[in-house]
């Protein structure tokens, strides 16, 4: 069968899935800050969550519920992370789940809660529970735009992507939304992301497709090196497009759907970096020649998270020595300086561990002044490569985070 993945910047509805949003006034005034996603019966869902040991109360509850029941509803609030809140935070998350379960006529375990916002403040579950009727009244298949806006915190814009997957005579939709701007170094997903398809996918296959898509999208971005307490990604397969389904992630249909997930997750992940708090530059760091992909990732993250590299990028300062220093401390397997080569855009900087003889700083500065910067690093130890996406570190990043609670 011929296969094709067609990208779409707008949010295509996913048959069977409905979304609603409303304003609770929990933290933000005059804007939606509460979202509900209704999943049809029989659909598959798979969640992956933060690796932060101090995970938020909703993450704890969502994991427990997903392990015991097939999800029917996801409820998401912005403005309060319900993290660092102890037993009271668990009770509050459960109270919101109970309100949704009552209105949705399902078990409490079929409701998964998610929160984002300020850490360490108790969640006003009564306020959120009172909004549940309004959420149900707003549910619609074309509710992606309002839902994506409702889950934002310091983001400057909603993040929505879609793709159409064509495999032979079959067509499927993959649509996703995410929020995230700061506290971004996901070790599994991003702060919050929800990706759905109308394909029929058994839960074990969906889990494998999710893991593969995340590995090269959300797990390859960093804004500031901070992993949130609330990170969560949920993938959903409604099955509304028909009975054909992949037998595994590796058969032709599975690979086609993986292409759709990778397209949507990749674009959403890069949208987060572009919207990094105070970011003025989008930076793609390609590292090649490692003993493994993870070896390459260690080098890429060392450079991407270096405050000195990030501030030099903000200043459009061609201070490439900061990049070389970060490569050297990254911990790559048996790294030899004589094997290292670095280029910024089309401009070679370092070759065989030494500055190139025809180095032109003016040309490099002109590249770094652009809103998108490509950095290529070769470490000469193997055949593997990976790309990490990041941004610069600006005055506004400090201002936004210094004034976050004021």
3-state secondary structure of 286: strand
Contact 38, 104 (CB under 8 A): yes
The answer to whether 65 and 98 have CB atoms below 8 angstroms apart is no
Among 139, 154, 216, 161, CA closest to 191: 154
Token readout for 165 is 């997957």
How distant is the alpha carbon of residue 404 from its chain centre?
21
Q: Which two tokens stand for residue 314?
A: 């903000």
> Where does residue 94 rank: exposed (0-12), middle (13-18), buried (19+ CB within 10 A)?
buried
Per the CB < 8 A criterion, the answer to whether 216 and 266 are in contact is yes
Look up 386 and say whether it is catalytic: no
The continuous run of DSSP H or E covering 149 comes out as helix 144-150
Q: How would DSSP label each residue in 241-254?
A: T-S---SSTTSHHH
Instruction: Provide the greatest CA pair distance for the chain.
Output: 72
Residues 46/237, Cβ–Cβ less than 8 Å: no
Alpha-carbon distance of 200 to 401, in angstroms, equals: 42
Bridge-based pairing state of the strands 341-344 and 347-351:
antiparallel
| Residue 135 near residue 20 (C-beta atoms within 8 A) | yes
Task: Determine which one of 50, 116, 190, 390 is catalytic.
Answer: 190
Edge-to-edge strands of the sheet including 170-179? Answer: 3-8, 159-167, 170-179, 192-197, 232-237, 44-49
Tell me if 34 sits within 8 A of 137, measured CB to CB: no
Of 347, 364, 310, 305, nearest to 330 by C-alpha is 305
- Catalytic residue positions, numbered: 190
């Amino acid at each position: 069968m011929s296969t094709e993945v067609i990208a779409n910047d707008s949010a295509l509805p996913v048959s069977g899935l409905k979304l609603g949003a409303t304003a609770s006034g929990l933290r933000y005034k005059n804007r939606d800050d509460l979202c509900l996603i209704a999943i049809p019966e029989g659909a598959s869902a798979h969640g992956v969550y933060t690796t932060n040991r101090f995970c938020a109360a909703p993450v704890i509850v969502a994991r427990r519920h997903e392990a015991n029941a097939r999800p029917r509803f996801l409820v998401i609030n912005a403005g309060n992370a319900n993290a660092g809140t102890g037993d009271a935070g668990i009770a509050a998350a459960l109270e919101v789940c109970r309100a949704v379960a009552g209105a949705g006529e399902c078990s409490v375990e079929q409701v998964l809660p998610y929160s984002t916002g300020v850490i360490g403040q108790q969640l006003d579950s009564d306020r959120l529970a009172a909004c549940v009727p309004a959420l149900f009244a707003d549910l619609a298949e074309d509710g992606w735009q309002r839902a994506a806006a409702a889950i934002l915190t310091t983001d400057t814009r909603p993040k929505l992507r879609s793709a159409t997957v064509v495999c032979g005579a079959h067509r499927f939709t993959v649509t996703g939304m995410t929020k995230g701007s700061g506290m971004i170094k996901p070790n599994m997903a991003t702060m919050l992301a929800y990706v759905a398809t109308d394909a029929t996918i058994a839960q074990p296959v969906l889990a494998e497709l999710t893991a593969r898509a995340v590995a090269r999208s959300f797990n390859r971005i960093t804004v500031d090196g901070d992993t949130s307490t609330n990170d969560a990604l949920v993938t959903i397969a409604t099955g509304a497009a028909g009975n054909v389904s992949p037998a595994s992630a590796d058969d032709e249909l599975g690979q086609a759907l993986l292409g759709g997930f990778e397209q949507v997750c990749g674009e959403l992940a890069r949208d987060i970096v572009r919207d990094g708090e105070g970011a003025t530059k989008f930076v793609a760091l390609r590292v090649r020649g490692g003993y493994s992909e993870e070896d390459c990732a260690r080098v890429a993250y060392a450079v991407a998270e270096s405050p000195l590299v990030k501030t030099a990028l903000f200043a459009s300062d061609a201070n490439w020595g900061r990049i070389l220093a970060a490569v050297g401390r990254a911990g790559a397997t048996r790294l030899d300086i004589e094997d290292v080569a670095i280029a910024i855009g089309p401009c070679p900087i370092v070759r065989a561990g030494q500055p190139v003889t025809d180095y032109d700083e003016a040309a490099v500065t002109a590249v770094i002044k652009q809103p998108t910067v490509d950095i290529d690093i070769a470490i000469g130890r193997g055949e593997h490569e990976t790309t990490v996406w990041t941004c610069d570190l600006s005055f506004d990043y400090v201002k936004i985070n210094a004034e976050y609670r004021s």
